[in-house]
Amino acid sequence: MLSRLLPGTGSLRILDAAARHLNFTRAAEEVGLTPAAVSYQIKEIEGRLGVVLFERTSRSIKVSEAGKPLLTAVAEVLALLDKAIAEITAPQANNVLQVSLPARLATNWLMPKLADFKQLHPEIQLALDITDDVRDLVPGGPDVAIRFGRGQYLRGEAIRLTQTRLLPVASRELWHAADDLESLADLTTQGFLYVDCQVEGLQWPDWSQWFAAAGLSIATRVRTQKFSDTSHLIQAVLAGGGIGLVEPMLVGAELANKQLIAVSKVAVSLPVSYAYYLLIPTSSDHKFGVSAFKQWLVAQLADTE
């Protein structure tokens, strides 16, 4: 009978994890087994079905052509099952929308705007999961996530929110104290602050790229200081510690009240595919509050392009 060929729920979750990660070690970490156990379970399923689901080499695995329709169906079935379980086991939490996002975006952009969202949607309670770790969006965890990257999300919808660009900003006091600074070349007496990090293989722009965009050949004559965290850089700039290369959307309030001054209109833009994305898993498609939060978020970021 066909039912005898069907793997159990635990085996389906192993297949799903392996298909998403294309790595048995990472799949094992997700499902709480050893890599050897994951490999054994998958071979057992393949033997029962008489179909090779994963093509293995010495260095990698990939989903076989025969395995693609089955693994797509597995992901959809698990999403529906998880959604149904979440609905019947946690009805009291139906008005809570869990949002996962990076610390820099939460601290410097979303939190100051929460009052606006609450006024528009008092029926929705936002619960923030503030982390720079990339979490799998599964029932019991965040309903949606805002992440920076290339939007390569296989288990739902990835909505591109805004293009990312960097502008040089300085504190009002630093800028006005140097009233003889008529050109950016004069700023070489100050410290130039930037974030040193990589995101999905992309090295975050530094001052050498901005100087090139501005047509200034002074990169080797300036004093730079790197930070690992955007929030720390912004605090240093506000304290008059130098000129920072930052995303203007993260200092919108400070620019509006003149705490910070954009010292140039020249910006360094990241490749178009690298942006902030709202990730909505299939299991959250009809979750209460998702549509309202998506519309509000898109409207808030519409003028940052």
Report how far residue 166's alpha carbon sits from residue 247's, in angstroms, rounded to the nearest whole number: 5
Q: Give residue 87's pLDDT.
A: 66
The residue to which tokens 């900003």 are assigned: 169
Q: Give residue 138's pLDDT.
A: 64
Report how far residue 176's alpha carbon sits from residue 169's, in angstroms, rounded to the nearest whole number: 13
Are residues 153 and 290 located together in one domain of the fold? yes
Are residues 225 and 260 located together in one domain of the fold? yes
Q: Give residue 47's pLDDT.
A: 87
Q: Give residue 200's pLDDT.
A: 77
Q: Give residue 181's pLDDT.
A: 42
Are residues 262 and 173 located together in one domain of the fold? yes
Q: Give residue 1's pLDDT.
A: 40
Q: Give residue 2's pLDDT.
A: 45
For residue 93, which amino acid is it?
A
- Single residue among 55, 72, 88 that ends a domain in this structure: 88
* Structural domain boundaries, residue 195: 165-269
Are residues 284 and 262 located together in one domain of the fold? no
Are residues 263 and 280 located together in one domain of the fold? no
Are residues 254 and 106 located together in one domain of the fold? no
The structure tokens listed for 179 are 């009233």
Q: What is the CATH number of the domain that holds 74?
A: 1.10.10.10
3-state secondary structure of 4: helix
Closest CA to 193 of 133, 259, 134, 239: 239
SS (H, E, C) 173-222: HHHHHCCCCCCHHHHHHCEEEEECCEECCEECCCHHHHHHHHCCCCHHHC
Are residues 137 and 224 located together in one domain of the fold? no
Pairing outcome for strands 165-171 and 61-63: unpaired
- Single residue among 66, 88, 110 that ends a domain in this structure: 88
Are residues 265 and 172 located together in one domain of the fold? yes
Are residues 284 and 159 located together in one domain of the fold? yes
Q: Give residue 34's pLDDT.
A: 87
Q: Give residue 109's pLDDT.
A: 87
Are residues 139 and 69 located together in one domain of the fold? no
Are residues 230 and 204 located together in one domain of the fold? yes
How many separate domains does the chain show? 3
pTM over 0.85: no
Q: Give residue 166's pLDDT.
A: 94
Over the chain (305 residues), the average pLDDT of each successive run of 10 is 62 90 87 86 88 86 90 88 71 75 85 88 88 66 84 77 89 71 54 86 88 78 84 89 90 89 89 86 79 90 63
Q: What is the CATH number of the domain that holds 261?
A: 3.40.190.10
Are residues 194 and 257 located together in one domain of the fold? yes
